[in-house]
Amino acid sequence: MLLIVVLVVIYCSVTHSPREYKDITVEVYPGTTMWSIAEQYIGPKETLDEVVYRIKEKNPGVNPGSLQPGQKVIVPVLVEK
């Protein structure tokens, strides 16, 4: 049993390397939502919810439901290797 657990841990660490992100700054325009920003910067094998969550983490205090024109939002973009 222990051998199986060790093999699974090794497999996961080799095949699921951590993702790397680069922060960019996006300016909000009228009608922009956090979800529309996320749609523009979604990477392969990512969900929209994951991208929105990361944007929220990078912008504490920003209300996702009421972005204002001219406001700057930091977007962590997946770096493709």
Confidence at residue 24, expressed as pLDDT on a 0 to 100 scale: 97
pLDDT at 1: 66
CB 31, CB 80: distance < 8 Å:
no
Three-state secondary structure call for residue 28: coil
- One-letter amino acid at 7 equals L
Percentage of the residues of the chain whose pLDDT score is greater than 90: 65
Residues of the chain whose pLDDT is less than 70? 1-17
Name the nearest CA neighbour of 21 among 68, 79, 80: 79
Residue 78 β-bridge partners: 21
**Phi-psi group of 47: left, alpha or beta (phi > 0 → left; psi -120 to 50 → alpha; rest → beta):** beta
Q: Are 14 and 75 in contact (CB under 8 A)?
A: no
